[in-house]
Structure 1
């Protein structure tokens, strides 16, 4: 079976954070509560990964379908209770500025979710999304 492999290496900072290395990129993962606030916390990184996954797929599909898009933004949010260490709800909102037909845009949403590696690893049933179309 062919497969794609991904790798991240992390080095502890001596407190609660770490420096992560992925390919030629380095970034900090930390907290603003009991850490040094040198980077996003792991939950924020997860939400960013979901948003990044969606954005990569939206970008690929926009190019493939030759859609005329002026702007594209995604906001991802997650909620958990104070007692249970698990995001119970994850939502995202795509805001797209385009004159394209709504059916085409909703097809992009469908395909971006269907083929999103991070999106599907977290679980499509756990993530709810909406699209706002802004007409130029």
Structure 2
């Protein structure tokens, strides 16, 4: 069984530094929450992890399928419950593909493979939230 060890160290006030095998980042909260607004938010980091996991899958599939894509981005919006503790109960993940010769069918297939088969973070999110997927093609002339 493999594992990941993440070390998160208090840096004072409401700030932490979290180190994982690929680097480190600062975590903090807004001034109204007692922080100094100098770091990433924990819940928002979950959305970044979701987009990053799926993005890596899609990038790999674009390469394997030899697709012509100039650029792509993923917008991930999480909707929080009104009750405490606030948790994500709905997520909207929108994939945007840009290019002059986009193969919409194969790109949609790449997204589907990530969402349905490869992305472990997506599977984790689906255990506690309604995850909606949207794919948008921006074909340049």
TM-score (normalizing by structure 2): 0.86
**Match of 1:118, SS?**
helix
Rounded to whole Å, the distance in 1 between the matches of 2:77 and 2:34 is: 22
Of 93, 99, 102, which residue of structure 2 is paired with 1:100? 102
Q: Which residue of 1 aligns with 2:25?
A: 27
Q: Deviations over 1:50-69 (max 9, x none)?
A: 11111101100000111010
Which ranges of 4 or more aligned residues in structure 1 deviate by more than 4 Å?
Answer: none
Structure 1 residues 94 and 24: CA distance shift in structure 2, 3 A: closer
Residue 128 in structure 1 maps to residue 132 in structure 2: yes
What's the C-alpha RMSD, in Å, of the aligned pairs?
1.7
1:42-81 equivalences under 5 Å are 42-81=42-81
**Mapping of residues 105-124 of structure 1, within 5 Å:** 105-113=107-115, 114-123=117-126
Length-normalised TM-score, structure 1:
0.89
Q: Tell me the CA shift for residue 72 of structure 1.
A: 0.3
Structure 2 residue runs without a partner (length 5+): none
The answer to whether 1:82 aligns with 2:85 is no
Task: Tell me how many residue pairs correspond in the alignment.
Answer: 134
Shift of 1:34: 2.0
How far apart are the structure 2 equivalents of 1:6 and 1:66? 32
Secondary structure of the 2:4 match is coil
Distance 2:110 2:72 in 1: 12
Q: Which residue of 2 aligns with 1:4?
A: 2
Once the two structures are overlaid, the 10-residue window that deviates more, 26-35 or 44-53, is: 26-35
Unaligned residue ranges in structure 1 (runs of 5+)? none
Displacement of 1:14 in angstroms is: 3.2
